[in-house]
Structure 1
Amino acid sequence: MATLIQSYEQQYSVLTAEVTAKIGRLKVGNEENREQLSKEIQANFEEANDLLEQLELEYRGAGAGSRVAAYRAELQRVKDEYRSVLSNSATYNIETEETYDNWNVNEQRQKLLDNTERLERTGKSLTEGYRVILETEEIGAAVLQDLSVQRETIQRSRGRLRETDEQLNRSSRLMNTMIMRALQDRFVLIMVFLVLGVLLCAGLYFYVT
């Protein structure tokens, strides 16, 4: 930004120096040269005004102190010198000062209006873009928060599933142990009954015989 401001200021200085030199040549030139020089000077004035407008915009964007007012005062002094040279010439046909001033004022007013409209459109676009960025950031933060909550919920559910699976495994092992013991107890009871039956039959046999 500072480099661009310095470039505009340098261009403006070169341009005003060139205009001053042309005004000096205008004082001593012949009619044909004076007409050509006058056209060139007026074109240089327009270019200088454009440079000052651009320079003022750059100063505003940079938020720095502006020297545009001093440059405009200097440019007005050069314009006054140019009009003074033209008014002192009796052989050169020029526009009246009122016509020149009206043309210059209208030109500058239109340019200022155009620049103001462009700045307003740019400002609105930047504001809208900033609002969209803020909304997007809020939505992204909300989504990240929801994802974090869901992740914690999933992790807790996974932990509970592990605990449930471990409990089921322990219950299954316990049931298997109980079934084996019940089978063993039943087998022992059957064997006891068989032994008692055999003993009872043997006793009856010996008793009868």
Structure 2
Amino acid sequence: MSTLIQSYEQQYSVLTADITSKIGRLKSSNDEDREQLSRQIQANFEEANDLLEQLELEYRGSGAGSRVAAYRAELQRVRDEYRAVATNNATYNIDPDEYEDWSMVNDQRQRLLDNTEQLERTGKTLTEGYRVILETEQIGAAVLQDLSEQRETIQRSRGRLRETDEQLNRSARLMNSMLLRALRERVVLGAVLAALAVLGAAALYFYVT
């Protein structure tokens, strides 16, 4: 679940708790305070509707299961309670002493605040987990990049080794060719020297005789 969805849900919880508290104050307030509280409550209802619309859009975008329908049902129940108190008609399904007992109202508000704090802690945990995932992905990408560079280096080294081996083979063939040529030249030179020696000996023999 995205952090934005959690933020909207937290705002909605705090807002409904504020509306519930104002409804309790509305029942025991005088005419002037009742009018001011009514305006504030109506403004809070409009704000809550806007929050639920934004929350519904976020749920659609994330593809997660939506709780907007439950939130709307809860908001409608609170709206019915407000209308009943505003018209002095106690037909809503709550205990008549609920708004007279301020300790119960405070307990309900405290529970909502505790839930909000728990949601905030959960949101921080998810945010931290998401940060760790991003860091892990970055480390993995860096490792893959290093491995890719090392692979390219090894491939280049293999290419240079193949080139060196080919050069050595060419050099060996050239050396063998030069040795064979030198041997042939020595054989030819030996034959020439032998022929000259024979010719010299023959010439000397004929000269002496």
Q: Say if 2:80 is the partner of 1:69.
A: no
Identify the range of structure 1 (125-134 vs 155-164) with the bigger mean alpha-carbon deviation.
155-164
**Cα distance change on mapping 1:63 and 1:164 into 2, 3 Å:** farther
How many residues get paired?
144
CA distance in 1, matches of 2:101, 2:117: 24
Larger gyration radius, structure 1 or structure 2: 1
1:45-64 correspondence runs (5 A): 62=66, 64=68
Per-residue deviation at 1:106?
2.5
Residue segments in structure 2 that go unaligned for 5+ positions in a row:
1-51, 60-65
CA distance in 1, matches of 2:121, 2:104: 26
Q: C-alpha deviations, 1:37-56, integer Å up to 9, x for none?
A: xxxxxxxxxxxxxxxxxxx9
Per-residue deviation at 1:110?
2.3
1:189-208 correspondence runs (5 A): 189-208=189-208
Residue segments in structure 1 that go unaligned for 5+ positions in a row:
1-55, 87-96
Which residue pairs with 2:139 in the alignment?
139
CA distance in 2, matches of 1:85, 1:187: 128
RMSD in angstroms over aligned alpha carbons? 3.4
**Cα distance change on mapping 1:98 and 1:168 into 2, 3 Å:** closer
CA distance in 2, matches of 1:198, 1:204: 10
Which residue pairs with 2:129 in the alignment?
129
Q: C-alpha deviations, 1:77-129, integer Å up to 9, x for none?
A: 5994489997xxxxxxxxxx489522321220221122012101101100101
CA distance in 2, matches of 1:64, 1:134: 30
Which residue pairs with 1:112 in the alignment?
112
Per-residue deviation at 1:153?
2.1
Normalised TM-score (structure 1): 0.58
1:122-201 correspondence runs (5 A): 122-201=122-201
**Cα distance change on mapping 1:152 and 1:125 into 2, 3 Å:** same
Normalised TM-score (structure 2): 0.58
Between the aligned residues of both structures, percent identity stands at: 62
**Cα distance change on mapping 1:101 and 1:114 into 2, 3 Å:** same
Deviation beyond 6 Å, 4+ runs, structure 1:
58-61, 82-86
CA distance in 2, matches of 1:199, 1:138: 91
> Which residue identity does 1:121 align to in structure 2?
R
